[in-house]
Amino acid sequence: MHSITLADLRNSASFFDIDDIVSIVNGRKKEEIGYFVPKSLKEEFEKFTLELEHKRKIAKLKRVAEADRLDPIGEGAINDGLE
């Protein structure tokens, strides 16, 4: 993986020749800003992001299902705090 600075983005002729994922770094603060994914890797990257999104949704649904399982109140009922 290549690492470039924001200043390198101004020299777009050499930047767009890269066929690998690039880490974009703020040169002054030396902190990572993000990534650039070239067109050649677009399909693979989109599959990867869809898979991540699917895993996050499944994890949320599992949390909801677990909370529902632990909830002693029946569906459609309202808990008013009286026992």
- Interatomic CA distance for residues 17 and 8, integer angstroms: 12
The pTM of this model reads: 0.58
- Interatomic CA distance for residues 46 and 65, integer angstroms: 28
Span 19-31, pLDDT tens digits: 888 888 887 888 8
Q: First and final CA of the chain: distance in angstroms?
A: 61
Show me where the domains of the chain are located. Answer: 2-36, 41-70
Find residue 25's DSSP bridge partners.
5, 32
Span 4-48, pLDDT tens digits: 887 777 777 766 777 888 888 887 888 888 888 888 888 999 999
Strand ranges (E), the chain: 2-5, 22-26, 31-36
- Interatomic CA distance for residues 1 and 78, integer angstroms: 55
